A and B are shown apart, each in its own frame.
Chain A
Amino acid sequence: MQGDFYQLLKEQGYVLGIPGQSGVGQALITATTILAFKYRDGVLVAGDRRATAGNMVMYDRTDKVLEIDRQSVMAIAGVPATAYEMARVLEHSFKYYRRTQLQELSFEGKLRALSKLLKENVPAALAGTGAVAPIFAGYDAEQEAAKIYFYDILGAEFEGAEYAVSGSGSPTIRGILHYLNTWGEQPLSTMTEEQATVQALRLLTSAAEFDSATGGVNREAGLYPVVKLITSDGVRTMADPHLQSLFESNVSKGM
């Protein structure tokens, strides 16, 4: 198939992840909180920055919201090694397609590419060594709309009409998102960029409150979640100083 980078890699002997062995399944490691929701100008995607191994905090500066190309973002929950590898394959696949076919891969094509990678990864996911449950969000140029999709570890793809969450802290904030969107002062989709960012910071702080594997804001170390905004202009990362000012004026006040 022309323009298929993953196929090209496979022809050269590449294998994604570690092949799993049946019957050695373990509890899935999805220690993290990632979220995405639609706001007035597009989609906001955010994630905490903690990486854990069992009870141990491995790293507090992980970037789980990865820019795959100028129009799309993949937020990762699950085994980081597999998730980063998938992001790397996707990034190269989209670039390769654009450069060989002289046109952007369609948004549906991008969704399908991630789905295929997850399906290939099923043995490792079931063995507990490579489960990934990502959120993929991007700007669909044909439909002129920013969209959110989330996946299970087997590669099934679901559209998050208003929002999507994943990771160990997600049960906490899923309920809050539903409440906010249904009975809050205003629906998420009408919020301004600033309002949406404040909500994202509050949601991740709530997740960190109840989930030890989710890192909240560490003001002393100047560590804030990663927040990316997807609009018709592409992907933009919210700068830390801006997050800090929004956190101090709208989040920490109530704590």
Chain B
Amino acid sequence: MYEEPYRWVEAVGNRRQYLDEQFAKGSPVVGVACDQGILLITMSKGTPKLYEIYDRLALGGMGHPADLEKLRFTLLEMAHVEGFNRSASDVTGGRLVKYGVAPVVKQAFEEVFKAPFIVKIMLAELRQKAGKDGFLTINYDGVFEEKSLYAVLAATSSIEQRMTEYLRKQSISSLKEAVDIAIRTWAVGDRAQRQADEAKGDHEDAMENSDQPAADAQTLLAHVHQCMIDRSIECVLLDRQVAGTSKYRTLGTDELRALLPKDLSSAVT
């Protein structure tokens, strides 16, 4: 039945709708570049969402943990084999995404008899020179985008736009500023997702497309504080200052306490 073009288009459309629903309650991911490197932040309930891929590459994802694991392993295998056979400099985010993962995700999405990847991913790449750092994001349908300075993942593209709009208005240079702004941007996304989820049905479009101004910093931090009851802040850094080839490191509890805004640092456990 899917041999007919119309049926196939319909099936893909249904799949898109199904997938959109899967991300509604996911935790957004925020990546921002700062003087010290690239920071990735999210909030999670135990299962990590941020990972090391290669010396200068970090992965952030939202969606089904098993699918994220599959793509993470694909990326790890490709990166390490390439890094061994050629060199670490030849392992670039662009090559991994464009010729590796994105085609696989797209194929899975369009093969309507098979299960799609319920996942959106972000690959952060620390380059040799500050200011040249980059991000690549891949949607569940295999569409990828390259970005510099910052990137986000959220349930829908309109929420991602709202988060990006919030980030655009900020100026980030130090790591402390990066942590502060990234966690607030996460709150912008999470609040928007919750509002959209609650307003499901009649007002969905109205909520998503509403042009309401972003909440003030106090409200956003209060939202994060509230979320910290059952989730914890996950934060990693591709640190330009780390000695050796591997630049990835997780920000520990003490460091996070020192970097987070006062209202939140006391809640870090």
Contacts and interface: CB of A to CB of B under 8 A. Distances in A.
Contacts of B48: 102
B31 to A, nearest CB: 18
Interface stretch (A4-12, A131-139, A172-180, A209-217): A4-12
Contacts of B80: 5, 8, 92, 95-96, 99
B52 A89 contact: no
A88 B81 CA distance: 12
A9 B81 contact: yes
B231 to A, nearest CB: 19
A100 interface: yes
A98 B250 CA distance: 13
Given A96-B76, A100-B73, A12 B52 contact: no
A39 B129 CA distance: 39
Contact of B83 (A8, A92, A98): A92
A92 B76 contact: no
B77 interface: yes
Interface residues of A, number: 15
B53 A99 contact: yes
A70 interface: yes
Contacts of B84: 5, 9, 88-89, 92
A8 B53 contact: no
Given A9-B84, A99-B53, A70 B244 contact: yes
Contacts of A9: 81, 84
Contact of A95 (B73, B81, B246): B246
A143 B48 CA distance: 28
B8 interface: no
Contacts, number: 32
A98 B54 CA distance: 11
Nearest to B55: A95
- Name the residue in B80, B244, B246 with the highest tally of chain A Cβ atoms < 10 Å from its Cβ: B80
Contacts of B83: 92
A167 B51 CA distance: 41
Interface in B45-69: 48, 51-55
Contacts of A89: 84
Nearest to B83: A92
Contacts of B77: 8
Interface in A80-103: 88-89, 92, 95-96, 98-100, 102
Nearest to B244: A70
A96 B77 CA distance: 8
Contacts of A88: 84
B51 A99 contact: yes
Interface string A90-129: 0010011011101000000000000000000000000000
Contacts of A99: 51-54, 76, 80
B56 to A, nearest CB: 12
Interface of A: 5, 8-9, 12, 67, 70, 88-89, 92, 95-96, 98-100, 102
22 contacts: A5-B80, A8-B77, A8-B80, A9-B81, A12-B81, A67-B244, A70-B244, A70-B246, A89-B84, A92-B80, A95-B55, A95-B80, A95-B246, A96-B80, A98-B52, A99-B51, A99-B53, A99-B54, A99-B76, A100-B73, A102-B48, A102-B51
Interface of B: 48, 51-55, 73, 76-77, 80-81, 83-84, 244, 246
Given A8-B77, A9-B81, A96-B80, 14 more contacts: A5-B80, A5-B84, A8-B81, A9-B84, A70-B244, A70-B246, A92-B80, A92-B84, A95-B80, A98-B52, A99-B54, A99-B80, A100-B73, A102-B48
Q: Pick the 4 closest A-B CB pairs, nearest first.
A: A92-B84, A96-B80, A99-B52, A100-B76
